[in-house]
Structure 1
């Protein structure tokens, strides 16, 4: 792609364009949360934060399918790619349909657990689940083929669709905020389908994978699902547990803290999306994938250190600008939460690196720490500060063990 600026032509690769696009998407999603936090206040924002967290949970589940497609569309012979796509779409629709149905069946129980006020929320979520998973298959195919322009379009459409409809519904007071957010999420799933590679006619065609392909896919799917499940737990269990144990005002304040502290994670996620296919391709072509990893780690380390120092030096300024003075009580915890998130994000880079190389020990390690975080937060949640401290300790240990595995693997 070429861009003209002041009569000068600048060439931008598709990977660079993807990184720019995802930065825009992350900025848009961040703006979405900030406006909702300021607009609604801590109590209502606590309810909305649950919905946003459930969206993140759904995205991590769908990421399992996306990574599967990205990996195997590279590794499977070109003449088998169409067959692979048909099989993946069929199974994805089947299993995501079950998840969507469960959301509807247990809507009342979910409402009670998270102290929400309308079961329609989970009926709308249930409708959206299959749409989101089909979208993730399409994204994975684009990612594996390194078609980053098409991948960028999907993310941009999803983000702009969610922002525009949600703010229209809330701004004109058409429905209550929780329903507005849910409808906005569902609408964004539909827009995110484009550019889409799915057709209903492909479901009617017979398609069978080779036995070796099926075994490899099941193995990768199982391991990736376990890890994405771990990511769900580590990234979101704290918000859900705080919402359950603390009153709404404190839960809303904590949600704002989590939103600011997670900036680094979402930026690193963007880099991982580019890193994964490059590592797989380097291995396939006989090149050293570690060189690819090191190049990305330099930028990631700079980013994490800058974020934590900024949150330590200017916590009240950051919170006041982003959320407003009513959230300032979270200032002393901001750099600590940013530190916990940064530690996890760095460990996450190594886990994804080994996952792309079909080495699964770090996944199991991360899964153990995900479960440990849930147990730790259930046992130790007397104060919000204690909730953050539990996460710092566990994520620091996870990073150290992951680094030890990396250096041991490199030496061997």
Structure 2
């Protein structure tokens, strides 16, 4: 015990957060893999749709989280309290509206994605306001670099979703997609542990100064636009495959995507560390480019390792994770991992620019995100073609981000 305590004292909060994120990603992977094995390819296609919608939700929630994180660094005193109250209020209102829309159009979503029931969308819509409220809570911890509590919120959400969903599937003989949606919704409640709700009031009359209010609005609009492009880039392929292909192919592709995206999920922990660090360095007048180089290096090394592993032993990886029923995707695994790796590296550049309030990369990412949708809509004769057009789009996106950085490096 003494040795463990001494070891924990030597670990910095940032390192502890990185370990925590790895555990969370591992737990999420176990969750996905168990669903794939328990449900089989066709039923897993609906569960994967819910997981994709959860990823979409996480991108939208990131608008509130990143804004809260940035201005937790920049604002103090009454201005910080005013901003925090405003953020919780806006997140709650937006969440209620978004959830209501999902519930109202649940039957339309059922028709579009060919699901067995619309109730999975109804349950998902009910949980949306909780997720946005949770995002502001996490942004507060992130901006103040309280990585201990930030880690705990991700742990409570992940473990509750994993354990509750498995318990529901084994104990209750209902439609699997409904039970998966219920497990996701309940996990949002647990994700609010711990919460930093001190001094929160929706009725507070305190207001941000006009110049600060303008800064917040500009950053949130910029972030919302960028997160929208991330939704497009990161999730459009699964949604389009679910639309264009049969349930079996959609389920097989979903398994491929979940394995290939491991780079992207791990990259998120570097985004969490990058933004408050870059904002603080800019505030202090220090160079920010070295921070970018450090995290790009980490992601590049990790990406290279994963792509090589997926190229050398794809059958082994797929069999271990999902079973023999998914083995037909083995030849595409390294290609999908390559597309995701290019996206993950480009994403580090993009969030770096976002933290410095640079608008051009957001516009370019939006255009390239839309191009990915167009390419898949035009070229979807096979799953192989769907993956390969994504490699092309992501390579162009990364090239554009690097070109922009080189053009602006003297100012960074």
Structure 2 partner of 1:274: 273
Are the counterparts in 2 of residues 343 and 396 from structure 1 also a CA contact under 8 Å?
A: yes
| Matches of 1:190 and 1:336, distance apart in 2 | 37
Q: Which residue of 1 aligns with 2:233?
A: 234
- Superposed CA offset, 1:139-172 (max 9, x none): 0011000011010010000001101110001112
Q: Counterparts of 1:3-402 in structure 2 under 5 Å?
A: 4-5=3-4, 10-198=9-197, 202-402=201-401
CA distance in 2 between counterparts of 1:200 and 1:357 reads 29
Q: Are the aligned partners of 2:164 and 2:183 in contact in 1 as well (CA < 8 Å)?
A: yes
Q: Residue 201 of structure 2 aligns to a residue in which SS?
A: helix
Secondary structure in structure 2 of the residue aligned to 1:271: helix
Alpha-carbon distance in 1 for matches of 2:169, 2:2: 37
Given the two structures, how large is their TM-score scaled by the length of structure 1? 0.97
Q: Deviations over 1:75-106 (max 9, x none)?
A: 12334211111111111111111101101111
**Aligned-partner Cα distance in 1 for 2:390–2:314:** 19
Contact 1:4 1:10 in 2 (8 A): no
Question: How far apart are the structure 2 equivalents of 1:6 and 1:274?
Answer: 24
- For residues 359-389 of structure 1, the C-alpha deviation after alignment (integer angstroms, 9 at most, x for no partner) is 1211111111111111111111010000001
Aligned equivalents of 1:52 and 1:263: distance in 2? 14
1:407 corresponding residue in structure 2: 406
1-structure distance, mates of 2:3, 2:366: 47
Give the 3-state SS of the residue equivalent to 2:114 in structure 1: coil
Q: By how many angstroms is 1:174 displaced?
A: 3.7
CA contact (8 A) 2:69 2:143 kept: yes
- The answer (yes or no) to whether the contact 1:230–1:370 under 8 Å persists in 2 is yes
**TM-score normalised by length of structure 2:** 0.97
- In terms of mean alpha carbon deviation, does 302-311 or 75-84 score higher? 75-84
Structure 2 residue runs of 5 or longer lacking an equivalent are none
**Mapped partners of 1:20, 1:328: distance in 2:** 31
The number of residues matched between the two structures is 411
CA contact (8 A) 1:261 1:341 kept: yes
